[in-house]
Amino acid sequence: MLKTIAGVVLDMDGVLWKGDEALPGMTALFDHLNARNIPFALATNNSMKSPAEYVGKLAQLGVPKIDAAQIITSGVAAVEYLKATYPKDTSVHVLGGDGLKGLVVAAGFPLHYLERTPAKVVLVGLDMHVTYDKLCRATLLIRAGADFIGTNDDATFPTPEGLVPGAGSLLALLRTATGREPLLMGKPNAAMFAAALKIVGTPPEQTLMIGDRLDTDIAGAAKAGLKTALVLTGVSSRADVERAEIKPDAVYADLPALLTAWT
């Protein structure tokens, strides 16, 4: 399977690093890809950091020369979807952080602020300054007919104190308040893989997704037609693979094991 691979999509947390520590084989993996001129993209559901911040984190961990355009967050995937779906003057109401708003503005869409005018799209990400008033605004716009888009459905995210509400928790509230289902952008949904394939530029069947989660990385990539490799350095275990409906094309203990198989 690895012999046919011409491009790679990489998950980050649990594949390249855990917290602030690089996992074994991380720099060797980039050396391997660069030496063979294999194009790659990095894809994460976490839209809290901007692509530029991920470039900084990679450089800090010893991987220089990554371009911000190679990094796809669920926010980036959402904006790529907006660009492919709506005319440029479509007003987008964002319930989310400044990073997400910045991506929408940079793509040329006017942000919707006016309280009593309709919006074509309500885009929801994690807003750490969420208020009841903001939730009312998003609810009213969705109930009035705006398209309802969510960056990702992760219910929680980890902090040093424990798990706290993620974008999925805000979406749960809006689902309840509107009776509508959001169109989701992050893995395992199609938008994320469409954005990644556009960057890598290889056909899906010659593109390898390397991830640590069966339900997002592997299931989503398989559905999008990519080849899949699970590494056991993150969330999913070998026992999870036994139980999984969609199985990865290959399972490796870690990146060094994958690289050994690839030479």
Residue placing its CB nearer to Mg ion in the complex, 14 or 168: 14
Q: Establish whether 13 is a catalytic residue.
A: yes
Q: How far apart are alpha carbons 78 and 196 in whole angstroms? A: 12
Contact present, 97 and 126 (Cβ < 8 Å): yes
Residue 181 CB, nearest approach to Mg ion (Å): 25
Residue placing its CB nearer to Mg ion in the complex, 12 or 79: 12
Which residues fall within 8 angstroms of residue 104, CB to CB, at 6 or more apart?
79, 82, 92, 94, 111, 123
Facing residues of 21 across strands?
18
The closest residue (CB) to Mg ion is 14
Residue 216 CB, nearest approach to Mg ion (Å): 8
Residue placing its CB nearer to Mg ion in the complex, 12 or 191: 12
CA angle 220, 205, 10 (to 5 degrees): 50
Catalytic residue among 13, 147, 153, 212: 13
Reduce the DSSP state of residue 77 to 3 states and report it.
helix
Q: Calculate the CA 14 to chain-centre distance.
A: 14
Residue 213 CB, nearest approach to Mg ion (Å): 5
Backbone torsion region of residue 236, taken as left when φ is above 0, otherwise alpha when ψ lies between -120 and 50, otherwise beta? beta
**Where on the chain is the footprint of Mg ion (CB under 5 A)?**
11, 13-14, 212, 234
Reduce the DSSP state of residue 43 to 3 states and report it.
strand
Q: How far apart are alpha carbons 247 and 191 in whole angstroms? A: 21
**156-159 and 147-150 beta bridge pairing:** unpaired
Residue placing its CB nearer to Mg ion in the complex, 80 or 212: 212
Residue 13 CB, nearest approach to Mg ion (Å): 4
Residue 257 CB, nearest approach to Mg ion (Å): 17
Residue placing its CB nearer to Mg ion in the complex, 174 or 251: 251
Q: How far apart are alpha carbons 87 and 98 in whole angstroms? A: 22
Q: Which residues belong to the active site?
A: 11, 13
